[in-house]
Structure 1
Amino acid sequence: MSGKIIILDEFTSNQIAAGEVVERPASVLKELIENSIDAGADKIEIEIKRGGIGYIKVSDNGKGIEPEDIPMVFERHGTSKIRQISDLTTISTMGFRGEALPSIASVSQVTLTTKTQDNEYTTKAVYEALQQKSIVKAARAAGTTVEVRNLFYNTPARYKFLKGNTQEARYCTDIVLRLALANEHVAFTMISDNREVLRTTGDKDLLNTIYSVYGRDIAKDLIKVDAKSDTFSVAGYIGKPFASRGNRQHQSLIINNRYVKYPELNAAIERAYQTHVMKGRFPFYVLKLNVPAHNLDINVHPAKTEVKISNISDIFGKLNFIIKEALDKEQQAFTPATVKPSYTKPEIKKEDGNLIKDFTEQLAKLREETPPVTPKTHIINEQITVYKEQPVVNTSDIKQEFTDSVADKIYYDEPYKIIGQVFNTFIIVEKTDYIYIIDQHAAHEKMFFESLKADYDKQSVISQQLMVPTEVVMTSVEMSFLEQNSELIKRMGFDYSQFGKNSILIREIPSTINECDIKDAFATMLDDMQSEKKDKVNTAIYSLACKAAVKANRKLDEKQMRYLYENLMKLDNPFTCPHGRPTIVKMTRYDFDKLFKRIV
């Protein structure tokens, strides 16, 4: 009887190995660019088509490959970077496994064109499914060009799980941005479907690279970090607190010139911002850590985006302190030097009439645009509990009398009284035998959300033209996302046009958000949409409603409070905001009596 265990054939084992290294076009691009960096290139040109699925080209001016070494390049574990396992403790190159090109060539058609400085001729080799098809002489300057065509053409199951061309192009662009930030000494150029999406200068200045990648709006709001300890050093830039974003896509952690994902160190940085940024906002940073090689294990995963640090607890605490100190110094720079007395008589300021007027006009506009909604019966027939306190004979014989009556008018026609506003944030409304405490921001946000959602569903969003168009600078990844979702965003009421390579001019906005910071609202909306994989429409409307709504700590007059209350109560569900937080808290007379121990 023969055994059941066999040795897999070479083709099958190569396909399995490729699955660990080559997940999608972006992982192919990463491996090829890292090979170019290891070859000493200071100029790398990248071109992709159809999101990298149809075509990837990486060309560099590095050392090139000797003709006799070309067959070894396509053999598994063929490498020039290490000779034995102990070399891993001092490795300084991006790659070392010798798996990249064999894995790529096993699931695609690869053309390698290379020339060293000393060779007279260029060599061009063509491989398909890891089989050499031809090797001939060609012409090019010193360096290497690798072209990858028809990725996963022979593994349809893997191809089926790829995203669309636009999404895959975004993944490719993102990894190139990260590698450009990690290697500011290299000049990168990237072209996607015949359009240039990135160009860096390679002048060894990280700030200039950040400018090329993220634009001037981010580059001007950065804090430089440069610190050393006995166990590591860190250099780079962190964003000022107000430059925080709605997701973590603007965070890059680079360890020993390698872009990695290290949750513990990301947490150390974000904790330093805890008292500086709002919950749900994330700081910008590009930080480069140098850790002694003997404390670093880079042989964790074939993708090489995960590493392990032996003294992570020590680095966690020190990195957190360094970031906190940098933020505190920046904050001190904006603190007036004058010493204030321990007590000053508060000045009585006049009401800002313009704020009230602007908000009143905004509410009036919303009233015109809000579609009429039939009040719900659970509000129309609201039960009013009348409580009467009885004389107490003894503590064991307490009687309470409750009389239920049904209101014969709709809620906002019932007698009610605006008691006022507390903490410039909450509106107090008194009704027959209870009060409502209303969160003014949550209530206004709910009204905006319902209005925008109704208009979006009916394709009747009213746009307002800006007197001066607003410029928004974005990354290549964000521009790609904008193109992918342009129909949805324009249906929201925005009208914009491209203005340069990575910026747009917004010319029209939804009329309901005309009182907020347009640039911030648009950028936050894009951040939130990118973080949401399914319901991008509601996410965009949530984001705009939140930005446009009246904020906490803003004083309102009685007319504004009355308008907020009456129009909030017209909604189908006035009791929660779009984020699920309560807009209204109801307290009855009975609740107050219980609080003050008038009854037990």
Structure 2
Amino acid sequence: MGTKIKMLPKEVINKIAAGEVIQRPASVVKELVENSIDAQASKLEIKAENGGKDLIQVIDNGQGMKREEAQLALKRHATSKISRANDLFSIRSLGFRGEALASIAAISKLEIRTRSEEELAGTLLKVSAGELLEVKDIGTPVGTNIIVKDLFYNTPVRYKYLKTTATEISKISDIINRLALAYPEISFKLIHNQRELLESPGNDSLLDTMFSIYGKEVSRELISVDYEDRYMQLRGYITKPKITRASAKHQSFFINRRYIKSKLLKEAVTEAYRSLIPKDRYPIVALMLKLNPILVDVNVHPQKMEVNFSRKDEIFKVVKSGIEEALAQADLSKKINLVEEKEVLQQDNTDEKAQQQSLKLLKESTDANKQSSKETKQIVEKSSKKEYQASKTKAEAKKGVNLQEVSLDYQPAGEVEQQPSLSEFLPLGQLNNTYLVAQGPQGLYIIDQHAAHERIIYNQLLEKAAQTAVQSQSLLVPIKLELTRPEIEILTEQQLALKNLGFEVEHFGGQRYLIRAVPQLLGKLKTKEICRDIIEELLEQGKINKTEKVLKNLATVISCKSAIKSGQRLLKEEMENLLVQLEAAKDKYSCPHGRPTIIHFSAKELAKKFKRI
């Protein structure tokens, strides 16, 4: 009987190693660019085609490599960054994982052109699937030029899981943006399909670099952070509370110039802004924390983005205090340019007006349903008898009706087999101006007003989108958006889906876009914020490339933003309108996010709670 334990072939070992380090084109870009930075390059040009799937090229003017060094760099675990085990605990360079080039070479067609300053001729190396095919002298400038073609061509399963071109290039752009922030003295140029996406100045100014990434709107609202406490130093920029985003993805943290992802640092930022912005909004930040490398372990994740801190409490305090001090010293008063004042007044409406408009649309839609549908008319007729039925129920209760006759236990209402019509419910009031409390023939019902209205609007949007008849509302003054390059890529790819939902978007030059029309259901909401949030949502859901799924995703965002809010007081008529519309809605027992809209306490359950049975 032969042994079951076998040594894996070299090509399989290399592919496994590649899977740990190289997950997508952005991983390749990160490894190559970090190596260029470690090689003391002052100028970097990154080119990509088809989101990096077909081609990635990184050209630098760094130190370059001699022939023997270039050949050795293709070996696994070969590196110039560490020599002893203890070096792993005080890493100061970026590309210390020696298998990066070997991993890339194992799953692509790789070409390296490089020359050191001491050599007259450069070296060309060609590699395919990890096998060195050619080595020869060439003429090339000092530095390194690496070309990666047909990524994952020999691992089709890995290739299949790559996302859309727009998503992949947005991931690459995100990596380059953060490296440009970490190294403002280096000029970064990113080109995708012959179109320039970024060119940072490379003049050692973080402010100018942020301008090249985020544009004028954000850069003019930045606050400088400069704070020291014992052995730690915090530098960077944060936005004033008026500039926020729907997610924390625009928060960049750097430890000794290495970009990292840190829940601890995000929480410190949130705590510092706690009383200044809504809890579901996030400022844009670029913060550099300098400390002794011995206090941070960056070798805990294959992509080197997650870290462990040895003094978490002290680091949290420094980041929080540094931001609080910067905010306290800044002028946070709102300034309105007289030329823009009319636009601000028309676009930046109060939440109260938005809620009034939302309720008005709800009532109008209910009224329309009454006129156009015999079925809805019957529901309304039943609704008019509610108070009589409620009075009758109350009278019977006084006579001692046995509550044990009703056998339903507390559960999400959607799980009850034969649900009564919501039009039979009698709204009793609101709990915390968030939940409708209603009496029905089978007990007590609690309705989440925001989730219920979300479901109604979501269904209306999809129904109208299917009929290509979403009603748009033209804006008297177009909304101006200044977008980052990744946002532009996603916007361009999904422009048709946006149009089908009622958005009219027009390029205005550079990174600026105009929103000329929005879905009517948005009413008087702060549409500039919503439009940006929708684009961010598309970035988060970049794997969706079917129009139908994009429409559902957008409809979910719009319905959430335009629905009645938690904490909003409703009149009795508004509660009744909400129940009538929810009754007619498909999938009425959950909102588009999957949360329940209604929960039910049966008469039996209530009787048990009050020890009546």
Identify the match of residue 386 of structure 1 among 370, 386, 393: 393
2-structure distance, mates of 1:12, 1:445: 50
1-structure distance, mates of 2:229, 2:551: 48
Corresponding letter in the other structure for 2:562: A
1-structure distance, mates of 2:598, 2:522: 23
Partner of 1:188: 188
Q: Structure 1 residues 400, 212: CA separation in 2 closer, same or farther (over 3 Å shift)? A: same
Report how far residue 492 of structure 1 moved: 0.4
Partner of 1:344: none
Q: Structure 1 residues 6, 495: CA separation in 2 closer, same or farther (over 3 Å shift)? A: same
- State whether residues 379 and 580 of structure 2, in contact with CA within 8 Å, keep that contact through their aligned partners in structure 1: no
Report how far residue 59 of structure 1 moved: 0.5
The Cα offsets for residues 226-274 of structure 1, whole Å up to 9 and x where unpaired, read as: 2122242222223334433222321222111111122333333334444
Corresponding letter in the other structure for 2:561: K
Q: Which runs of 5+ in 2 are unaligned?
A: 335-351, 406-420
2-structure distance, mates of 1:308, 1:552: 38
The Cα offsets for residues 149-192 of structure 1, whole Å up to 9 and x where unpaired, read as: 11122233333333343332222222222222222221111111
Q: Structure 1 residues 238, 369: CA separation in 2 closer, same or farther (over 3 Å shift)? A: farther
2-structure distance, mates of 1:147, 1:421: 64
1:34 maps to 2:48:
no
The Cα offsets for residues 95-127 of structure 1, whole Å up to 9 and x where unpaired, read as: 123222122112211111122334323322222
| 3-state SS, counterpart of residue 264 of structure 2 | helix
2-structure distance, mates of 1:124, 1:58: 15
Q: Structure 1 residues 275, 549: CA separation in 2 closer, same or farther (over 3 Å shift)? A: same
Larger CA deviation: 297-306 vs 543-552: 543-552
| 3-state SS, counterpart of residue 80 of structure 1 | coil
Partner of 1:540: 554
Partner of 2:310: 310
Q: Structure 1 residues 386, 315: CA separation in 2 closer, same or farther (over 3 Å shift)? A: same
2-structure distance, mates of 1:9, 1:586: 61
Report how far residue 43 of structure 1 moved: 1.1
| 3-state SS, counterpart of residue 172 of structure 2 | helix
1-structure distance, mates of 2:353, 2:216: 33
- State whether residues 353 and 524 of structure 2, in contact with CA within 8 Å, keep that contact through their aligned partners in structure 1: no
| 3-state SS, counterpart of residue 249 of structure 1 | helix
- State whether residues 495 and 505 of structure 2, in contact with CA within 8 Å, keep that contact through their aligned partners in structure 1: no
Partner of 1:255: 255
1-structure distance, mates of 2:357, 2:255: 50
| 3-state SS, counterpart of residue 468 of structure 2 | coil
- State whether residues 298 and 304 of structure 2, in contact with CA within 8 Å, keep that contact through their aligned partners in structure 1: yes
Give 1 or 2 for the bigger CA radius of gyration.
1
- State whether residues 388 and 402 of structure 1, in contact with CA within 8 Å, keep that contact through their aligned partners in structure 2: no
| 3-state SS, counterpart of residue 198 of structure 2 | strand
Partner of 2:534: 525
Q: Structure 1 residues 369, 224: CA separation in 2 closer, same or farther (over 3 Å shift)? A: farther
Query: Following superposition of structure 1 onto structure 2, how do residues 279-428 of structure 1 map, counting pairs within 5 Å?
Result: 279-327=279-327, 333-334=332-333, 366=365, 372=372, 374-375=375-376, 380=382, 384=390, 385-388=392-395, 400=400
Corresponding letter in the other structure for 1:296: V
Corresponding letter in the other structure for 2:394: Y
Larger CA deviation: 499-508 vs 198-207: 499-508
2-structure distance, mates of 1:82, 1:420: 68
2-structure distance, mates of 1:586, 1:307: 46
Q: Structure 1 residues 9, 415: CA separation in 2 closer, same or farther (over 3 Å shift)? A: closer
1-structure distance, mates of 2:10, 2:559: 58
Corresponding letter in the other structure for 1:291: L
The Cα offsets for residues 267-287 of structure 1, whole Å up to 9 and x where unpaired, read as: 333344444443443343222
- State whether residues 115 and 123 of structure 2, in contact with CA within 8 Å, keep that contact through their aligned partners in structure 1: yes
The Cα offsets for residues 285-317 of structure 1, whole Å up to 9 and x where unpaired, read as: 222111202222233234222332222233234
1-structure distance, mates of 2:181, 2:235: 12
The Cα offsets for residues 65-84 of structure 1, whole Å up to 9 and x where unpaired, read as: 12342221212222222332
Partner of 1:341: none
| 3-state SS, counterpart of residue 249 of structure 2 | coil
1:494 maps to 2:493:
no
Q: Structure 1 residues 375, 156: CA separation in 2 closer, same or farther (over 3 Å shift)? A: same
- State whether residues 25 and 168 of structure 1, in contact with CA within 8 Å, keep that contact through their aligned partners in structure 2: yes
- State whether residues 421 and 427 of structure 1, in contact with CA within 8 Å, keep that contact through their aligned partners in structure 2: yes
Corresponding letter in the other structure for 1:538: K
Corresponding letter in the other structure for 1:484: E
| 3-state SS, counterpart of residue 15 of structure 1 | helix
Query: Following superposition of structure 1 onto structure 2, how do residues 156-195 of structure 1 map, counting pairs within 5 Å?
Result: 156-195=156-195
Q: Which runs of 5+ in 1 are unaligned?
A: 336-352, 391-397, 405-409
- State whether residues 359 and 564 of structure 2, in contact with CA within 8 Å, keep that contact through their aligned partners in structure 1: no
- Structure with greater helix percent: 2
**Higher RCO (CA 8 Å, separation ≥ 6 residues):** 2
2-structure distance, mates of 1:424, 1:97: 55
Larger CA deviation: 94-103 vs 353-362: 353-362
- State whether residues 425 and 439 of structure 1, in contact with CA within 8 Å, keep that contact through their aligned partners in structure 2: yes
Report how far residue 148 of structure 1 moved: 0.7
The Cα offsets for residues 511-556 of structure 1, whole Å up to 9 and x where unpaired, read as: 2324222211111222334445675433422322343346677788
1-structure distance, mates of 2:505, 2:535: 14
Aligned positions, number = 567
Report how far residue 94 of structure 1 moved: 0.6
1-structure distance, mates of 2:223, 2:369: 44
- State whether residues 459 and 586 of structure 2, in contact with CA within 8 Å, keep that contact through their aligned partners in structure 1: no
Corresponding letter in the other structure for 2:133: K
2-structure distance, mates of 1:513, 1:3: 68
Partner of 1:19: 19
- State whether residues 115 and 143 of structure 1, in contact with CA within 8 Å, keep that contact through their aligned partners in structure 2: yes
2-structure distance, mates of 1:525, 1:94: 34
Corresponding letter in the other structure for 1:220: R
Partner of 1:339: none
Q: Structure 1 residues 365, 211: CA separation in 2 closer, same or farther (over 3 Å shift)? A: farther
Larger CA deviation: 108-117 vs 546-555: 546-555
Partner of 1:67: 67
| 3-state SS, counterpart of residue 515 of structure 2 | strand
- State whether residues 493 and 509 of structure 1, in contact with CA within 8 Å, keep that contact through their aligned partners in structure 2: yes
Partner of 1:52: 52
Q: Structure 1 residues 105, 319: CA separation in 2 closer, same or farther (over 3 Å shift)? A: same
1-structure distance, mates of 2:481, 2:40: 36
2-structure distance, mates of 1:239, 1:315: 21
Corresponding letter in the other structure for 1:496: V
% same residue: 35
Q: Structure 1 residues 107, 554: CA separation in 2 closer, same or farther (over 3 Å shift)? A: closer
Q: Structure 1 residues 89, 442: CA separation in 2 closer, same or farther (over 3 Å shift)? A: closer
Larger CA deviation: 166-175 vs 182-191: 166-175
| 3-state SS, counterpart of residue 245 of structure 2 | coil
Larger CA deviation: 579-588 vs 26-35: 579-588
Q: Structure 1 residues 429, 311: CA separation in 2 closer, same or farther (over 3 Å shift)? A: closer
Partner of 2:239: 239
1-structure distance, mates of 2:267, 2:473: 42
Q: Structure 1 residues 198, 6: CA separation in 2 closer, same or farther (over 3 Å shift)? A: same
| 3-state SS, counterpart of residue 44 of structure 1 | strand
1-structure distance, mates of 2:159, 2:354: 57
1-structure distance, mates of 2:262, 2:496: 36
1:229 maps to 2:238:
no
Q: Structure 1 residues 547, 302: CA separation in 2 closer, same or farther (over 3 Å shift)? A: closer
Partner of 1:348: none
- State whether residues 387 and 401 of structure 1, in contact with CA within 8 Å, keep that contact through their aligned partners in structure 2: no
Q: Structure 1 residues 228, 471: CA separation in 2 closer, same or farther (over 3 Å shift)? A: same
- State whether residues 42 and 61 of structure 1, in contact with CA within 8 Å, keep that contact through their aligned partners in structure 2: yes
- State whether residues 387 and 400 of structure 1, in contact with CA within 8 Å, keep that contact through their aligned partners in structure 2: no
- State whether residues 358 and 563 of structure 2, in contact with CA within 8 Å, keep that contact through their aligned partners in structure 1: no
